[in-house]
Amino acid sequence: MAGRWRRTVAAMALVGGMAAALASAEVAIPPEIVAKIGLLTPAERDFMLSKAAEAMVPNRAEMYRRWANKTPEQVKAYVQAMMQVVEDNKFHAGTDMASIPLDTTVPGFNSWKTLRPQVLEPKREPGPFNLSRYAQGRGGIPTFFNLPVAITPEDLKAGAVDIAMVGIPLNMGSGTRGAQLGPNAIRTVGRLGPGNDMYTMVAANKVLNMVDYGDIAVDQMSTERSMEHVREEVRKIAATGALPFIVGGDHSLEYSDVAGLADVHGKNRVSVIHFDSHYDAGRGNAHLISHGQPVYRLLKEGHVRGRDYIQVGLRAQSPDEATFEWMREQGFRYHTMVEVEKSGWETVMKRVLAEASEDGRKIYISFDIDVLDPVYMSGTGTPVSNGLTMREVVPMIRRLCSETNLVGFELVELDPTMDPTYQSALNSKTIIHACMTGVAMRKQGNKPPKFLSPLSSEHGQDGRDFSKRPVPPVDKKPDDKDAKPARRGTT
């Protein structure tokens, strides 16, 4: 009994120097636990109060509950075990390999991205060309929106191309597979061209020169190798003056796509409007790029500033409180579904449009389809309920693309294997078409903000004088002037 009393007194004395730390702790250390930590070394006590220890258990109160029936020796062993886990989690140069080395001596090291020399092809004039033998563009090989094809920057320049649609079937950054099929899903869902938009009565294909620029090659064994090539090809498209309209692929592509545009327009000169249910600025992972980290990597490498990020639709289980504080420190302008619930979509949309239009900033739209509720977009690997609707998104995209200085657009995370119907691909195509319409409206330059066609929005018959308008004849049999029209459902 005396020995136990002495250990308790010793424990109280040892932790006495931690009074300030304990006073600021979210969960106070119960007296019975204070009596059990007398055997801990200073390093072990520091660890016990650290965030690393909290990561081992649901919360600190639960950790103390687990220690309630343990002896001081068992508590010490418990803390040492947690410390060992933290140590084992670290990279150890002597035993761990950061990556599998590549064999740079093989003759085909760059065969996956080697461009075909034009001298090997039949001679043709630079410019877009069609892949259909029919005058109306029917049949042939599927392309985005049934558009003509361009395959070189010279084609884009010769055709004075406004929008170059390009597929990037990269899906190494998501941990699941299927989004690499997104580009071809968009190409094959229907074969309708980018025709009339009934909301504005603007036909993008009559205003803009648009092409399918094919797919950018990826190394399906290496996200890292693929991303540098993607960045290079996006840079080439943007350098011609064409707007890259990118169809992914997973959201890790945002890193390469935005970096490629920053190479052309200048670092910290492009602002990103990031539609997503996730914030995608993950930090502290062993892999420095994934579909949850492109935003952080762009910031870390200085391509985009935090205050140039406008995020819309966040609602997943992250960010946590500390991350929201970090986002505020970086200057992020985020518009979560919490804000939508609090203020209403119309108010949030006005805020986003105002921020995107500041100072004529150059805008890139990064659209992750999981920003939409899964009822509209089931074909994605990371769906989150309680999202935006198509009726909310389409007007927003059309307005952003018509009212801002757009330099590019991407739609990512479409996984057609997750949707046995055509709905996700069809809705994705509709969103892209809304942006095309917006770009066409901006090029025309004669449409006010929030423009909707009076021809399609109003029938124009209200208040008209019909007294002098001839009454249309009733459908009669040609040989019977007195015949009455047949009732519906009769023969």
pLDDT tens for each residue of 301-329: 999 999 999 999 999 988 889 899 999 99
Which residue, among 65, 64, 234, 163, has the nearest Cα to 435 in the 3D structure?
163
Residue 251 has pLDDT above 70, yes or no: yes
Q: Predicted confidence band at 120 (pLDDT cuts at 50, 70, 90)?
A: confident
Q: Taking residues 246-261, what's their average pLDDT?
A: 95
Residue 467 has pLDDT above 60, yes or no: no
Q: Give the per-residue pLDDT at 10.
A: 43
Q: Predicted confidence band at 79 (pLDDT cuts at 50, 70, 90)?
A: very high
Q: How is residue 97 written in tokens? A: 């390999």
Which residue, among 388, 381, 363, 219, has the nearest Cα to 291 in the 3D structure?
381
Sequence-ordered list of residues with C-beta below 8 angstroms from that of 85, at least 6 positions apart, any chain:
56
Per-residue CA distances from 304 to 245, 249, 288, 331 (Å): 19, 22, 17, 11
Sequence-ordered list of residues with C-beta below 8 angstroms from that of 246, at least 6 positions apart, any chain:
165, 166, 167, 168, 234, 253, 257, 408, 409, 410, 411, 412
Residue 464 has pLDDT above 80, yes or no: no
Percent of the chain past pLDDT 70, that is, above it, reads 88
> Helix and strand tally (H, E) in the chain?
19, 10
Residue 394 has pLDDT above 90, yes or no: yes
- Which position has the token pair 């327009």? 265
Q: Give the per-residue pLDDT at 423.
A: 95
pLDDT tens for each residue of 219-236: 988 888 999 999 999 999
Q: Predicted confidence band at 436 (pLDDT cuts at 50, 70, 90)?
A: very high
pLDDT tens for each residue of 47-76: 999 988 888 888 889 999 999 999 999 999
Angle CA 109–114–117, to nearest 5: 145
Instruction: Please give the mean pLDDT across all residues of the chain.
Output: 87
186, 247 in Cβ contact below 8 A?
A: yes
- Which position has the token pair 């929030």? 450
Q: Hey, what domains does the chain have and what are their CATH numbers?
A: 2-88 (no CATH), 132-444 (3.40.800.10)
Q: How is residue 242 written in tokens? A: 């064409």
Taking each helix axis from N to C end, the angle separating 253-265 and 223-239, rounded to the nearest 10 degrees, works out to: 40
Q: Give the per-residue pLDDT at 132.
A: 87
306, 268 in Cβ contact below 8 A?
A: no
Q: How is residue 1 written in tokens? A: 């009994």
Query: 117: burial class by Cβ within 10 Å (0-12, 13-18, 19+)?
Result: exposed
* pTM, full prediction: 0.82
